Structure 1
């Protein structure tokens, strides 16, 4: 039952309204406690936490329940109670998926969904239509647009766009596969992050020029004026993708696609600027780090391929100006590293693998869910002791990369990655600590068979066999760390953490960090970790001041002047 009065603007006002309610409704009392707990979790005064869903949603997204030892089930309950309180006092909030809320005609249609995934994806949309009195035969593109708008402005769900797009995809799949489904296909706009045109949309001559250039990149040419080593296959694939992006940006900036006939068109200074500026427009005025990389690529092509020294020089100058972000660690990584300035957070991460393994050992039967949790724990284990790039981690194979020497207590394990597979072009070799060897052996014995087809060589294997997707696995590891410890972590941040932790123990030993992270030059290591060194020097200064204050207080005891003294 909603109470009359003005709509509360923040959680403090909402809590006051709930506390002033007569009676002792159990759910209201529980909601009061939930709001206080959410305030603690968000680390903000309640008066600074807005009730407007659009403003509240990112705060909830950034929350780390595990940091206060709040389980995922309890966190779901807290959010449910918060939604109850918001609706009770007039906040127009879209409910979560609610099967019971479907009208009879929508229930009948839901039973025809082609699969359970489609049913789940359409459930919120069906609830929305049921509440709005819209029948299945009346569904149009505008109805889906209204649904998307409601999710965006009146929902606490973290991915409103994904829900609305998923509903459209599932609707269209049902149209195609279920004859009784309303035969209305809903157009789905291409996601804004996908902007590149297909290669066959460009003139054939452009594609041929690109492939000729990339073929030349794959060859070592010591006799060239700009002597170079052959680019690795992954680098060539990256260059191919970057050139398609740049050509697409140039077209989006206004140049007819028919005019993009060669790389010379792309490296022409005005065109290069237009393409790069179009990316800035796409990013709402933010200059992404990738722009500098794109500018360097165009400069290289202008110098060595299209033989345009004037454009090459101008593009080199532009790239240097765009290269503002690459001089230091990104602000996001720097910010995330600060959470490890607290020793309990470091301890939580370092203890996570052993804890997860110990908890899994208590299970009588190993389910896929338990085995996946152990796999993520092992990934954290390896990333902690040898901060590999995620591509190398997901590619680890026994006998090829993981070499076992000896037996029993004398057994040693090495991770060896050939130069051709490592970013630096040098072979990586590192001994695995004994405690991690034990966990790898236990993983292979008890948990790996649950996840992998028989005979799979990969340490981290996909359900269908073969290596895991780097993007999906990286995301899964990040989610695992957040759920287990409350820490915001990505796979690549383990490399930065390795440098931070080592330099805290050995402030002057940047050479170990350089070799551990595979930096070509010491300057790179110094540049990325200058903030850690600066912070340490600042701490020395503040420690000195505190010591001097203690000495000063001992030498000159503090004399408190009484009020009115001296009159």
Structure 2
């Protein structure tokens, strides 16, 4: 695990020296062999690459050189040994991440670099735990997953309209996996169409949420395959819940894999199976109830913050870390201004992190909303002639809870935003791009969710030694406010944009234990005077003979002296 200088409580150079000394000792003890010289074959292969390309496969080249393996011998079979070597014989902070990046780089070079070995390294997965790619399933299942994803993004009105017209995406496939049409409806399709017309109100999911649900359906199908069901028999989404035994097999297998307990994967799959049964294919109520009952043991029950979130928030709220975190946006922006002339790209990176972090500290929006902030649509100015931003306004259709967001912009946020918008953002924003945080590889796009996460997380880890995800700043805001104003959950609900008060209470009621105990102690002990100490009062020690007296204070006459 990577350790930042702030986390280690030392300077950057000192930490580098410690790592270097540790690596030297481990090599002398033959515990590391991560610096084996490259063989001529590997030197010749890497020679035409630029610095960044070579860095992407250098670890693999050193491993193969140490093992006497030629580039032509690289493949899926040997890659598991490379991963074990990263874990056991190197000081790599994240072996799995490096292995994945190496595999992707190798495959990319195999397709684009002349003379590169043509063999491709397949993703190494545990066959008992792995998730199969979508293209491993029959075409009919892939088509139905795409229809399910599109259906999730439809409104109730659109579903009713397309159901009445016989649209397959709205009513789901027939039991045998074939498409149902208005001209030749099957009995099951006719029954489904009637139910779809009376469906309750449903807010359409965002594209990213719908894609996640579709992926969870693929996860469920993958679990079914690993239990022995032939993949050819999974021809449509309906097959995940009908016959009912399929849903039972999936959920019981997830329960077993989690050591007879709940898991995050179990939660996602249980939810999507219930959605498919109840809403997409309109299974009989008894089947829906059975799937919901089977899903309870595998679903995580959240009461308060998770242990992971509690630990991260507690570390961020330590007195020293909390103060550094509040000051970090200004520190990053000052560093950006200092780097602007000598290293513009580095300066832009620092300024972006400063602007993102100050937003998360003062206005912790959900990730989708903060990366999608638009200069004209969301950042409102009282005086169009002045650049100062006074309000943040997001329409209801753009929020998770379908409620609009209107918040004032504090001066601290506005000040750093102006630096970012006027000085640093123009250096990376393509012409016509109006997103606050442009990027994502598109001229008119915004920064990707992962890019935003990495930027903020790296800055805070290096600055104060704590790792926080963007969403954890919402928990941090709620925790801070309730510590100062215990019990004011409604204020937190409105500020964080929760739809229901129960959501806010369930998240933060556990964080109020210490404050509640302190207030309870005040009530219990209030008005009770401490008991007086027994015994004679202790005599105060007299001052030394040489101690000065206050003017006019009588004292003892020294021997042999008259008064």
Where do residues 26-37 of structure 1 align in structure 2 (5 Å cutoff)?
A: none
Partner of 1:67: 7
| Secondary structure in 2 matching 1:119 | helix
Post-superposition CA distance 1:242-266 (Å, at most 9, x none): 2232223222322122222344421
Distance 2:288 2:534 in 1: 68
Aligned partner of 1:474 among 445, 448, 453: 453
Query: Measured at CA, do residues 291 and 143 of structure 1 come closer, stay the same or move farther in structure 2, by a change above 3 Å?
Result: closer
Q: Is structure 2 residue 60 aligned with structure 1 residue 92?
A: no
Query: Larger radius of gyration, structure 1 or 2?
Result: 2
1:511 and 1:522 in contact (8 A); partners too: yes
Aligned partner of 1:244 among 186, 199, 218: 218
Distance 2:276 2:112 in 1: 49
Aligned partner of 1:495 among 456, 474, 488: 474
TM-score, scaled relative to structure 1: 0.76
Distance 1:410 1:145 in 2: 55
2:131 and 2:222 in contact (8 A); partners too: yes
Cα drift, residue 175 of structure 1: 5.0
Partner of 2:305: 329
1:404 and 1:412 in contact (8 A); partners too: yes
2:57 and 2:106 in contact (8 A); partners too: yes
Partner of 1:188: 122
Cα drift, residue 65 of structure 1: 2.6
Cα drift, residue 347 of structure 1: 1.3
Aligned partner of 1:374 among 326, 351, 372: 351
Distance 1:95 1:548 in 2: 69
1:510 and 1:526 in contact (8 A); partners too: yes
1:249 and 1:278 in contact (8 A); partners too: yes
Partner of 1:124: 59
Query: Measured at CA, do residues 306 and 344 of structure 1 come closer, stay the same or move farther in structure 2, by a change above 3 Å?
Result: same
Partner of 1:413: 390
Q: Is structure 2 residue 470 aligned with structure 1 residue 535?
A: no
1:413 and 1:431 in contact (8 A); partners too: yes
2:156 and 2:202 in contact (8 A); partners too: yes
Cα drift, residue 154 of structure 1: 1.7
Partner of 1:201: 137
Q: Where does structure 1 lack aligned partners over 5 or more consecutive residues?
A: 1-59, 559-567
Partner of 2:20: 80
| Secondary structure in 2 matching 1:555 | coil
Query: Measured at CA, do residues 141 and 375 of structure 1 come closer, stay the same or move farther in structure 2, by a change above 3 Å?
Result: closer
Partner of 1:160: 95
| Secondary structure in 1 matching 2:406 | strand
Where do residues 137-156 of structure 1 align in structure 2 (5 Å cutoff)?
A: 144-156=79-91
1:140 and 1:184 in contact (8 A); partners too: no
Greater helix fraction, Structure 1 or Structure 2:
1
2:155 and 2:204 in contact (8 A); partners too: yes
| Secondary structure in 2 matching 1:325 | coil
Distance 1:388 1:547 in 2: 41
Q: Is structure 2 residue 315 aligned with structure 1 residue 339?
A: yes
| Secondary structure in 1 matching 2:353 | helix
TM-score, scaled relative to structure 2: 0.77
Structure 1 window deviating more from structure 2 (500-509 vs 335-344): it is 335-344
Distance 2:502 2:403 in 1: 19
Cα drift, residue 486 of structure 1: 0.8
CA RMSD of aligned residues (A): 3.5
Aligned partner of 1:111 among 47, 58, 73: 47
Q: Is structure 2 residue 419 aligned with structure 1 residue 442?
A: yes
Partner of 2:38: 102
Distance 1:421 1:444 in 2: 23
Query: Measured at CA, do residues 549 and 171 of structure 1 come closer, stay the same or move farther in structure 2, by a change above 3 Å?
Result: farther
